[in-house]
Amino acid sequence: DTGVSQNPRHKITKRGQNVTFRCDPISEHNRLYWYRQTLGQGPEFLTYFQNEAQLEKSRLLSDRFSAERPKGSFSTLEIQRTEQGDSAMYLCASSLFVGATDTQYFGPGTRLTVL
C-alpha cells in the first residue's frame, strides 16, 4: 500500500501523559498536513509542512502541541500533558504541491482517547 499511513491507529492514555503520533506520507509528496476531528464535526486544520519547514500553525495548536518533520519525510505530532479535551481523531494528509493548488491524500487517522 503506497498511501498515507498513521501509527498508532488507536491510543488510550491517562490525563497528564504525553503522546506521540507518527505520519508517513506518500513518497515524494512535499507537503504534510495535520488535522483534528471530533465526533460529528469536520476536520480542523492544525499545522502543515512543506518539506521540513513548518509553514503555518492554527490557533488550535496550543503550546502543548508540537509537530516536526525533520527530514521532510515522516512527521510526528506530540501532545504534552494531555487533557480530556484532546480526545479526537488526528488525521494526517500529504500532497504534491507544484502550482496553484494541491490535492490532499488523507491517512486513516489516529484515534486518541484521554481518560
Partner 1 sequence: DAKTTQPNSMESNEEEPVHLPCNHSTISGTDYIHWYRQLPSQGPEYVIHGLTSNVNNRMASLAIAEDRKSSTLILHRATLRDAAVYYCILRDSGNTPLVFGKGTRLSVIA
Residues that bind partner 1 in the complex, under the rule CB under 8 A: 4, 33, 35, 40-45, 48, 55-56, 58, 91, 93, 97, 99-109
Rounded Cα distance, 47 and 25, in Å:
15
Residues 67, 73, 78, CA angle at the centre, nearest 5°? 20
CB of 81 to partner 1, least distance (A): 26
- Our CB check for partner 1 shows the closer of 93 and 114 to be 93
CB of 27 to partner 1, least distance (A): 18
CB of 63 to partner 1, least distance (A): 20
β-pair type (110-114, 10-13): parallel
